[in-house]
Structure 1
Amino acid sequence: MQVAIPVGRSAPAIKYDILSALTVFALSGDKHLQRRILRLVCLITTRYNWRKNELSIGREEIARLWSVEERTVKREMAKFRSNGWVTVKRPAARGRVAVYALDLRQILLDCSSAWPLIGPDFLDRMSTAPEPTTNVIPFQAKTASANANGDDLWTQVQAFLHERDPELWSSWFQHLTEAKRAGGCVTLVAPSRFMADYISQKWTTRLLAAYGRIDPTIRSVRIEMTE
């Protein structure tokens, strides 16, 4: 499944599909899930920039929108980050609120149990790749495959990452190896300093979310360079 960028003439339909998946998935769950997703939908409809994939908002403003205390905002946003739905593009600083990004693909995948409830037309759209919006051919379009048959944690994480985004896995994650796992912290090793630094800055949250789905005791991920 691919998710087209919600811009251009098809933008309203893409936005409605994402919001439909979220709300129907919420209604199929318990009151806690319903409340959490309602809070996310609130942020999307009031402050989310679809074109830039940016949610620029401070904790105080979120608390006001949700009618809760800031500690509740801190807890809920941490849950969104841990399941890979939200990542921090730019942390809050003096005089500047945090900027978040939404992983729309992961959100749709996690709501997939609700797709049949929406209807066969929705299922068809989700299984059809969007038409390309550019004539640029992506580099390294052919990808290797991850071995999903292993029982160890890292093999399962690799398989999850590959299933979620084969091209991203092929470009970055397949080159990592797990060096150490202790006290809720995982240390991964990259073959170069550039790759270690780039993955640390860009994809640590996604790696942690993948680990957390298989072993919730993992609370942090470090990326180092091969010595």
Structure 2
Amino acid sequence: MQVIRPVGRDAAAKKYDILSALMAHGLAGDQHRQRLVLRLTVLITARYNWQADELTVGQREIARLWCVDERTVKRDMARLRQLGWIIVKRQGARGRVSVLGLDLERVMLDTRPAWANIGPDYVARMGGPPPEAAPNVVPFYRDLPEVAGDGLWPRMRALLRAEDGALFDAWFAPLVAEEGDGGLSLRAPSRFHATYLRTHLMGRLSMAAWRCDPGAGQVRILP
């Protein structure tokens, strides 16, 4: 999957692509998802600094923009952080609001099932190889045995495969879960593989673990 970076000569078109994905995702869901996506979309169009990837706005101002109370703002912003769509870049201090950002990769991953509703041209435009793929060394694993069971790792595997099949085959499929107390330990086939996962893909693994089990704890990669 191609990760959109709304910079450069085609920045305006890329922004429309991101907003289109968000709105299509919202419309494909229930009223709660629709309302959450609408609120985020309004916040992005009104207050998000695309170039700096910064959203600096207080809860009172958000409440006025959304026509809700501040309690609702706290709840919905917490939900957006849990989804991984909004990240805290700098925690607010006394007299200063927090500086937030958007995880565009996570947004596009989560909205991907609704892309077809926009049209095949959009799907083709957003397609392509995963940006994380190493240019020189890309391990491909074929005919790997499936991991059966209802445990955390089998559920995470299913989620990660659904998000990006090519990336899953290259980096997540060969991981083996090991028994241990607290958190999830995953054994990688090599030290290089483990280092690459820790450097580039820990966010994917941590989010998958949280979505499969909010009390899963820390994910560890072992060489």
TM-score (norm 1): 0.70
1:150 match: 147
Distance, in Å, in 2 between the alignment partners of 1:10 and 1:178 is 48
Distance, in Å, in 1 between the alignment partners of 2:221 and 2:106 is 28
Pairs within 5 Å for 1:108-123? 108-123=108-123
Cα deviations across residues 104-125 of structure 1 (Å, max 9, x unaligned)?
1221222223212211110111
Distance, in Å, in 1 between the alignment partners of 2:33 and 2:203 is 22
Evaluate the alpha carbon distance shift between residue 30 and residue 46 of structure 1 in structure 2; reply closer, same or farther with a 3 A threshold: same
Post-superposition offset of 1:27: 2.0
CA contact (8 A) 2:28 2:114 kept: yes
Post-superposition offset of 1:51: 2.2
Pairs within 5 Å for 1:178-217? 179-181=180-182, 186=183, 207-215=205-213
Query: Which structure 2 segments of 5+ residues have no match?
Result: 188-193
Distance, in Å, in 1 between the alignment partners of 2:176 and 2:96 is 36
CA contact (8 A) 1:189 1:225 kept: yes
CA contact (8 A) 1:84 1:106 kept: yes
Evaluate the alpha carbon distance shift between residue 206 and residue 48 of structure 1 in structure 2; reply closer, same or farther with a 3 A threshold: farther
TM-score (norm 2): 0.71
Cα deviations across residues 153-173 of structure 1 (Å, max 9, x unaligned)?
135436645755949x96xxx
| Matched residue type, 2:113 | S
Evaluate the alpha carbon distance shift between residue 159 and residue 60 of structure 1 in structure 2; reply closer, same or farther with a 3 A threshold: same
Cα deviations across residues 130-157 of structure 1 (Å, max 9, x unaligned)?
9x9xxxx967752566978324313543
User: Cα RMSD between the aligned structures?
Assistant: 4.0
Distance, in Å, in 2 between the alignment partners of 1:52 and 1:141 is 32
Number of aligned residues: 209
CA contact (8 A) 1:148 1:155 kept: no
Post-superposition offset of 1:209: 2.8
Post-superposition offset of 1:5: 1.3
Post-superposition offset of 1:57: 2.0
Distance, in Å, in 2 between the alignment partners of 1:62 and 1:212 is 27
2:49 match: 49
Evaluate the alpha carbon distance shift between residue 153 and residue 36 of structure 1 in structure 2; reply closer, same or farther with a 3 A threshold: same
Name the stretch that deviates more: 20-29 or 158-167: 158-167
Report percent identity of matched pairs: 44
Query: Which structure 1 segments of 5+ residues have no match?
Result: none
